[in-house]
Amino acid sequence: MGVPRGVDALVARVAPATAEQSKSAVPAGWYANPSHQPGSPRLRYWDGAVWTDRFDG
């Protein structure tokens, strides 16, 4: 199994029963930037509920 491409992949694998549970199912941390645009920073910080404005790079 490879490294997930973002928090959406993690949420899909965990498959919580409700949207509220999905917020806490994925821990805060640095994940692949979901924008997937060339030249954009590789990592973005997920605070456990929403994407923040923090980027690595």
For residue range 3-52, list pLDDT tens digits in order: 456 666 655 555 444 545 444 589 999 999 988 788 888 999 999 999 99
Can you say whether the dihedral through the CA atoms of 24, 30, 32, 37 is positive or negative? positive
pLDDT above 90 as % of the chain: 35
What is the pTM assigned to this prediction?
A: 0.53
pLDDT number for residue 55 = 92
pLDDT number for residue 37 = 84
pLDDT number for residue 45 = 96
Q: Alpha-carbon dihedral of residues 37, 57, 5, 16, nearest 10 degrees? A: -110
